Amino acid sequence: MNEEGIKGIEGIRDKSKPSLHQVSLSSVTRILGIDPGLRITGFGVLDKVGQKLIYVASGFIKTPSGDLPERLKVILNSLREVIEMHQPQLVAVEKVFVNVNPQSTLLLGQARGAAICAAVLASLPVAEYTALQVKQAVVGNGHAKKEQVQDMVQRLLELSGSPSPDAADALACAICHAHAGMGLGRLATKGMRMRNGRLT
């Protein structure tokens, strides 16, 4: 691993992960979700087996302060390491939202470009979703807070601990792609509802 690059590998686990003999490899779709950011880029890997989602790995890539090209290089190379390590079949990336600060939007767009390049260099298809689409699909509320996304990701993937905010957003992007179009139906299967801004 790069000294400056992949800093946080989550230690959480899927509590219901099936053994290898229970899963046909041909039925597994491995998805890499990416939440791009110039300072911190989150990543999350999961397997889709039928309607079941199985957590594989997550974490974040932290870039050093300094020149923009070097920071983009860290994002690109670190994500290529993640792809090489986990061998996803496709990548889901969160789209850039228009910030009140145009400079921030441009920088975020360049970080996102580095993330997409990492996928393209590995010949992987890329799906793109807005933050609103991701939150709507995973939480059932397009304006959900980060804490709500973390909580729902932990519940849907039956994790033993809460993922970091950036990793949770990346996992949420992967979940959104895995269940594109299901939205609140996914919540219903888990028996969860929004009450006073909290998942119950």
Mean pLDDT of 110-122: 96
Specify the higher pLDDT residue, 104 or 159: 159
Tokens at 165, concatenated: 């905010």
Mean pLDDT of 82-87: 97
CA distance 53 to 36: 22
Tokens at 94, concatenated: 């969160």
pLDDT above 60 (res 192): no
pLDDT computed for residue 139 by the predictor: 87
Confidence band for 93, pLDDT divided at 50, 70 and 90: very high
In the chain, where are the structural domains located?
6-199
Beta bridge partners of 47: 30, 54
Place of tokens 């699909």: 137
Confidence band for 10, pLDDT divided at 50, 70 and 90: low
Q: Is the pTM of this model over 0.85?
A: no
Mind listing the pLDDT tens digit for each residue in 124-153?
Answer: 999 999 988 999 889 888 788 888 999 999
Percent of the chain at pLDDT exceeding 90: 56
pLDDT computed for residue 181 by the predictor: 42
Specify the higher pLDDT residue, 2 or 86: 86
Torsion, Cα of 135, 141, 146, 149 (10° steps):
-60
In whole angstroms, how far apart are CA 14 and each of 37, 177, 198?
26, 19, 23
Rg (the chain; Cα; Å)? 16
Question: Hey, which residues are catalytic here?
Answer: 35, 94, 166
* Topology classification of domain 6-199: Nucleotidyltransferase; domain 5 (3.30.420)
Place of tokens 């990492």: 118
pLDDT above 60 (res 22): no
